[in-house]
Amino acid sequence: MDMTIAQRIRLVRKQKGWSQAKLAELVGVSKSACSQWEQGVTTPSVENLSRLAIVLDVYFEWLATGRGEMMYPNDSRNPEPDR
């Protein structure tokens, strides 16, 4: 089953343990905008999708279409320790 943009946004937000208000603050939109996105009432603009991908730390293509990888394989902000 393919997920909608709404489901992908909600999934990653919940994985991060964030409220809609927290996500809205980080993206720079109203809580109501996030709520409408997650309910599928509206779809984020390309600009907001880009901001969401950055804030949620996922690939834009995955967030927008559901295709490709979801998350970056190696997070440079949290590198694995050298062995």
What is the domain partition of the chain in residue ranges?
5-65
Residues 71, 63: Cα–Cα separation, whole Å: 10
Q: Which fold has domain 5-65?
A: 434 Repressor (Amino-terminal Domain) (1.10.260)
Q: Give residue-wise pLDDT tens across range 26-82.
A: 999 999 999 999 999 999 999 999 999 999 999 999 999 999 889 877 655 544 444
Considering the entire predicted model, what is its pTM?
0.84
- What is the mean predicted confidence (pLDDT) over 13-37? 97
Q: Which of 21, 30, 63 is closest to 46 using CA atoms?
A: 63
Please tell me the predicted confidence (pLDDT) of residue 81.
44
43 three-state secondary structure: coil
